[in-house]
Amino acid sequence: MIKAILVPSSGSETDFVVFSTALASARLYGAHLHFYHVHVSAGEALGHSEHGRFARGAGLKNALHELTETHAQRLMLAHRHVTEFCSQHEIAMTERPVSGDEITASWQQESGHGEDRLITAARCHDLVVMGRFTRTNGLPPDLLGLLLIGCGRPILIAAPEAPRTLTGTIVVCWKEGRESAHAVGAAMPFLVKAERVIVLTIDEGRGSSTNSAAALAQQLLWHRVDAKVETRSAGRQSTADTLLSQARSFDADLLVMGGYGRGRMMETVLGGCTDSILHGASLPVLMVH
């Protein structure tokens, strides 16, 4: 069950799509939306700027001043977006649980190191709903990957447009391994509400994923989830392209998959399939590492 959802508010134009995705999740169980904004310092933001490393003297001073004003504006917009969204959808603001399954919300702003603050906040929630990185915002450009690896919680990555539903057709990307198993466990609150569940596996010639996909579908019946197994060959396409094209062919509302790291000493470097879907999927993606 999902009852506490962390929703970072960036103050950008993507906020309302992210908020709508979070609301679609909250409606399943009457969850609480915890809107959260990290006010990063100008110095930290400059470190993540493409040209920040080259700033010197008066140029550095001007850059820091501009970033200070930009982030003050972003904080104001982030709070305004939350207020407008909650007013539009008649969501009550509260810091404590209420009786029943009413959707509620709260707002919090903090200052400090953006990546660390977000990871710490995410660990205290059932689900994190994020947008994709579209422009410089003072945070690491690879924040999604860092959060995925560091927080230990499922992350729902919003699509470019607000979803009509998250529980029409759900496609589970299955590959034999702990990451996929972890993703299915994290997605169970969505799977039990879905109209249709498809377990999709890519045939890599070994047969283990196909066999275990059938076993997974059998076990899902105990949760009253009647899943259909589909096996595809990647052919000349990449695994990521195959998964996404198949998800489109199924008219999927949500894609579920594990996040795969690459190498013990380079855990922060995500595998190519994970990275492609993390940053390029056109539908909402629920991912956990």
- 225-240: average pLDDT: 84
Q: Is the pLDDT of residue 270 over 50?
A: no
Indicate where the chain has its CATH 3.40.50.620 domain(s): 4-157, 169-288
Angle between helix 15-29 and 57-88 (nearest 10): 40
- Within a 13 Å sphere around the CA of 151, how many CA atoms are in the beta-carbon half? 29
pLDDT band for 143, please (50, 70, 90 cuts): confident
pLDDT in tens, 64-117: 556 556 667 788 888 999 999 999 999 999 988 888 789 999 999 887 677 788
Based on C-alpha coordinates, what's the Rg of the chain? 20
Is-contact 149 289, C-beta < 8 A?
Answer: yes
Query: Tokens 């603050």 correspond to what residue?
Result: 117
pLDDT at 95: 87
4-157 — its CATH code? 3.40.50.620
Q: How far is 110 from 89, CA to CA, in rounded Å?
A: 25
Which overall architecture, per CATH, does domain 169-288 show? 3-Layer(aba) Sandwich (3.40)
Torsion sign (Cα): 228, 224, 32, 257: negative
pTM: 0.84
pLDDT band for 237, please (50, 70, 90 cuts): confident
Q: Is the pLDDT of residue 264 over 80?
A: no
pLDDT in tens, 195-230: 999 999 887 666 567 788 899 999 999 999 999 999
pLDDT band for 265, please (50, 70, 90 cuts): very low
pLDDT band for 268, please (50, 70, 90 cuts): very low
Which residues are CB-contacts of 101 (< 8 A; sequence separation ≥ 6)?
Answer: 29, 30
pLDDT at 266: 33
pLDDT in tens, 47-65: 555 555 555 555 555 655 5
- 257-262: average pLDDT: 70
